[in-house]
A and B are shown apart, each in its own frame.
Chain A
Amino acid sequence: MTRRSSSFVHDRELILVEAEVVGPTGRTIEARLVLDTGAAATTLTPSVIEKVGYTRRDGFKRAKVHTAIGEEHGYWVRVAELTVLGVATPNFALTVFPLGHKDIDGLVGMNFLRHFNFEVRPADRQIVVEFLARG
């Protein structure tokens, strides 16, 4: 078993972690995502996803969310690779929606986080990820 720790920052009590999003040509944007165990799906904003070369035409499925002010339509797209907390996942499916916030590029949700164990240590500002050996 391997354990790896990553630091995070607190911003208005949100936990922000570093992510790398790789586009179809290999171009990579470093993004700041909210660690959100209450989100089923990982989300990036249209601004971020478009900078690495994806457009709505690359979406393979429409997505819909309910917000406090109504419905919002976005889409699902597979990015060439998403890396968060040192875990790189190729061909990763995520949703694209605006989040209305200048400091935040997206959310890392449970469709990414459920693949490993992790421990949030708020006082240490560390997240420890545990990789299980696969036999």
Chain B
Amino acid sequence: MNAAEQLVPIATEPLSWAEICAQYPDQFVCLVDIAKVELRSPEIKTACVVGHGPTHDAAFEPIRGLDMRYPRFAIRFTGTCSEPLIRASLVIDDETLQLLRS
């Protein structure tokens, strides 16, 4: 095995979302080979975990430079976030309005 091969992260076997949450509780997971419950659904049926950690960046780190090997991925939080969503009002000037209408 050469050095490049050693750096490739090991993906888990396909796991259900419930299994992912149980094995990686309250953390971010980086997922590949994602199967959805149905087409265009945000719900994950199964996926392989290639990274995990306490932050979005930490979960992504194992595949950061591996665009060719992992061209498609998702990062999800397995816990429950109780923080309120920040509701922001965009400041719209004339240039922004043109952009929004384009």
Show the binding face of A for B, using Cβ within 8 Å: 6-9, 14, 16-18, 25-32, 34, 39-41, 43, 47-48, 51, 61, 63-68, 72, 76, 85-86, 93, 95, 97-104, 110-111
Contacts and interface: CB of A to CB of B under 8 A. Distances in A.
A67 B42 contact: no
Given A6-B40, A7-B40, A28 B71 contact: yes
Interface of B: 28, 34, 36-43, 56-57, 60, 67, 71-77, 79-81, 83-92, 95-96, 99-100, 102
B83 A102 contact: yes
B42 A63 contact: no
Contacts, number: 113
Given A41-B90, A101-B85, A7 B71 contact: no
Contacts of B34: 30
A40 B100 contact: yes
B88 A72 contact: yes
25 contacts: A6-B41, A7-B43, A8-B42, A17-B42, A26-B71, A27-B67, A27-B71, A29-B75, A30-B73, A30-B74, A32-B42, A40-B92, A40-B100, A43-B88, A51-B56, A51-B73, A67-B86, A86-B40, A93-B102, A97-B88, A100-B84, A100-B85, A102-B79, A102-B81, A103-B81
A63 B43 CA distance: 32
A72 B89 CA distance: 10
Given A93-B102, A104-B85, 8 more contacts: A7-B43, A8-B41, A25-B67, A27-B72, A41-B90, A64-B91, A76-B99, A85-B40
Closest 8 CB pairs of A and B: A65-B88, A30-B74, A6-B40, A102-B81, A102-B77, A47-B56, A18-B42, A64-B91
Contacts of A111: 99-100
A31 to B, nearest CB: 7
A31 B90 contact: no
A76 B96 CA distance: 10
- With most chain B CB atoms within 10 A of its CB, the pick from A29, A51, A93, A101 is A51
Given A41-B100, A102-B83, A103-B77, A65 B42 contact: no
Contacts of A25: 67
B40 to A, nearest CB: 4
